[in-house]
Amino acid sequence: MTIPAGQKILSIQELKTYFYSHQGVARAVDGVSFDLNKGEVLGVVGESGCGKSVTAQSVMQLVPDPPGKIVGGKILFHEKNLLTLPQKEIRKIRGSGIAMIFQEPMTSLNPVFTIGNQISEMFRIHKGYGKKQALLAATEMLDRVQIPSPHKRVHEYPHQLSGGMRQRVMIAMALSCDPEILIADEPTTALDVTVQAQILDLMQTLKREYNTAIQLITHDLGVIAEMTDRVVVMYAGQVVEEAKTRELFKNTLHPYTRGLLKSIPVLGKRTASDRQELTEIKGMIPSLTNLPKGCRFSNRCPQAMDICTQQAPELTGDGSGHNVRCWLHNRIQDHG
Amino acid sequence: MLAGKYATQAEREHVRIVYGLDKPYYVQYANFLTNAVKGNFGKSYISQVDALDTILERFPATFELALSAIFISITGGVLLGVVVSIKPHGILSRLIMAGSLGGISIPTFFMGILWVMVFAVYLEWLPAFGRGDTVQLGSWRTGFLTLDGLKHFIMPALTLSGYQLAVLLRLTRAGMREVLSEEYIKTAWAKGLSPFKVIIKHALRNVLIPVVTIAGLSFGELIAFSIVTESIFQWPGMGNLLLISIFENDHPVIVTYIMLAAFIILSINIVVDMLYALLNPKIRYD
């Protein structure tokens, strides 16, 4: 896959989103920074609870408040800081500038309205279409996401469609107003493997057609390898590694990323000697209200050193765009 | 007893034969059933008029009262329920919730008397009892068309609606809280919809499914059992009639009333079921 030489359209800078509860403050997103370029597919990967979804919801300002609150940082969309824009401006950007699809196609569509109604709503609010015109446009969108007999389907309710179909409807809805950015929060996690492949294929095709930048959130490294140009690896609310996809798989630096890669089974290795043992990352992601001192991964890291439990490492890079937050590599850079 | 305290033995025998009370119980019951199927529930012991007609004559008064009460309950309950669910921790919300607790726990008769005391006795704004001026429309006597009639509606309708309003408010609030955390509400926000559209179109439409069910069912109950309210306000409706009939041992009227109440509740349940299908596409059949 070629890396498009695009300009930044979304820049997240030192974003901090905290959740306040009786147990204390959960720092779900704690100083996350990354950029999204025009036409690029950026993967955001990490275990459940590492802050990848909260980051996405912060961009759309969909973090439930209370208990969540964006307490710091900037989110620049075309040089405008979304965090300081008035609600009215945000509403214009939601859907038409940045669209989002969610993990659960079963529950992401409103059960009491036809899918035609739900898609045409987009055309009506963002493009000012009339009822008939919007429904026509919605039918066309269903055709674009390869739903058979769209004229019939447009009058159906979500419960009449399968999970894969519903996710297609969600994609149709998200893309209906040509957004510049599509945030896909685990779009295939809840689907069958064969349907997953179809949905990913569809997203590839549409991305080329619309030239939409995609921020793809997933915990599936297979999806990352298949789809993305660049990857951000998150752990416990922080970015721990960031690189172009091929570079990340070839030259993995962070012990956490390495752990993730080792924990996926590889098909096609027949002999016992070829087969690698599947290893898991030991332990659990730390509680966000009570993070370890120093590096947040130190308590699970097989290569932890003294300094790791004392002092938190910074995200550093060699200038090629491959950045990592780890003392192992900080030291290497210091020496050489 | 029917013949009166000072009736002679012969008069008593006569009454017994006229009402068929000389026959065995099973024959009496069979007679009652065959007549009931034909729509003939016998005559009132007191007024000697057909029992069903006596009740149906009172039906418009009760129906209109129940209608105003259910209207107040639904609009008030849903509206306040939405307000409370939007800002659950605001002062206004807390006040409304405290009030709804009162609506649920203060008994109807006490609430009615309170209303009368404040608005009729102290303030003298509203009439304390009766139905006021009415207009005859065919066989239907309505109190909606005169100002005096409307004034007479206010207190009884508020009293009758108090409990239902509180129940619907709490139901709406609980439903809204649940629905507002659903994924499809997040989708609605992500589409760029205004808060009004998200809350009124996307959320409330889902919340209304249980609310309509409960409201419909309680409408039947309001018609059938508005006895307490009607007696407080001396409302010339079916409930008041029932009370009088019970005092006077007027069995045909009591039995007819109960049959009619069952019929009303049944028919309303059917209507509610149809409305439910209309609101919830999942149970629609093609």
DSSP codes, B43-58: B-TTT-SBHHHHHHHH
Same domain for B158 and B23: no
Beta-bridge partner residues of B43: B50
Same domain for B155 and B199: yes
Both tokens of residue B142?
Answer: 């309505």
**B104 within a domain of the structure (yes/no):** yes
Same domain for B85 and B220: yes
Give the rounded percent of residues in chain B with a pLDDT score beyond 90.
2
Same domain for B142 and B5: no
Residue matched to tokens 């403050």: A25
Residue B273: enclosing H or E segment and its boundaries? Answer: helix B251-279
Q: Residue B241: its pLDDT value, please?
A: 87
Q: Do A110 and B188 touch (CB under 8 A)?
A: yes
**B43 within a domain of the structure (yes/no):** no
Residue B101 sits in a domain whose CATH number is: 1.10.3720.10
Q: Do B187 and A109 touch (CB under 8 A)?
A: yes
Q: Give chain B's domain count.
A: 2
Average pLDDT by consecutive 10-residue portion of chain A (336 residues)? Answer: 60 85 81 84 84 85 80 83 84 86 84 89 86 88 85 88 86 86 84 81 83 86 85 86 84 82 68 63 75 79 78 77 79 46
**B44 within a domain of the structure (yes/no):** no
Same domain for B201 and B62: yes
Residue matched to tokens 């068309």: B145
- Three-state DSSP string of A305-320: CHHHHHCCCCCEECCC
**B170 within a domain of the structure (yes/no):** yes
Same domain for B258 and B120: yes
Smallest CA–CA distance from B195 into chain A, residue: A91
Give the rounded percent of residues in chain B with a pLDDT score beyond 70.
97
Same domain for B105 and B154: yes
Interface A–B counts its CB contacts (< 8 A) at 69
**Which candidate in B178, B187, B286 is best for mutational testing of the A interface (most A CBs within 10 A)?**
B187
Helices of type H across A128-220: 131-144, 150-153, 163-175, 193-210
**B237 within a domain of the structure (yes/no):** yes
Same domain for B277 and B153: yes
User: What DSSP state is assigned to residue A128?
Assistant: -
Chain A residues within 8 A of B186 when measuring between CB atoms: 62, 102, 108
**By the CB < 8 Å criterion, does A110 face chain B?**
yes
Same domain for B34 and B102: no
Q: Which of residues 133-162 of A touch B (CB under 8 A)?
A: 157, 159
User: What DSSP state is assigned to residue B203?
Assistant: I
CA–CA separation, A295 vs B193, rounded Å? 41
Q: Residue A268: its pLDDT value, please?
A: 62
Helix axes B91-105 and B51-86, enclosed angle (nearest 10)? 150
If phi > 0 it is left, if psi is from -120 to 50 it is alpha, else beta; for residue B138 that is left
Q: Residue A3: its pLDDT value, please?
A: 42
Q: Which of the four pLDDT bands, split at 50, 70 and 90, describes residue B58?
A: confident
CA–CA separation, B81 vs B170, rounded Å? 6
CB A183 within 8 A of CB A98: yes
Instruction: Please tell me which residue, B142 or B71, carries the higher pLDDT value.
Output: B71
**B164 within a domain of the structure (yes/no):** yes
**Whole domain around residue B20: which residue ranges?**
1-38
Same domain for B77 and B201: yes
Same domain for B155 and B16: no
**B241 within a domain of the structure (yes/no):** yes
Given 3-state DSSP classes, what are the helix, strand and coil percentages for chain A, each rounded to the nearest 5? 35, 25, 40
**By the CB < 8 Å criterion, does B182 face chain A?**
yes
CB B176 within 8 A of CB B140: no
Same domain for B123 and B26: no
Q: Residue A336: its pLDDT value, please?
A: 37
**By the CB < 8 Å criterion, does B198 face chain A?**
no
Q: What is the ipTM for the molecules in this complex?
A: 0.79
Chain A residues within 8 A of B188 when measuring between CB atoms: 110
Q: Which of the four pLDDT bands, split at 50, 70 and 90, describes residue B96?
A: confident
* Closest by Cα among B88, B100, B120, B82 to B207: B82
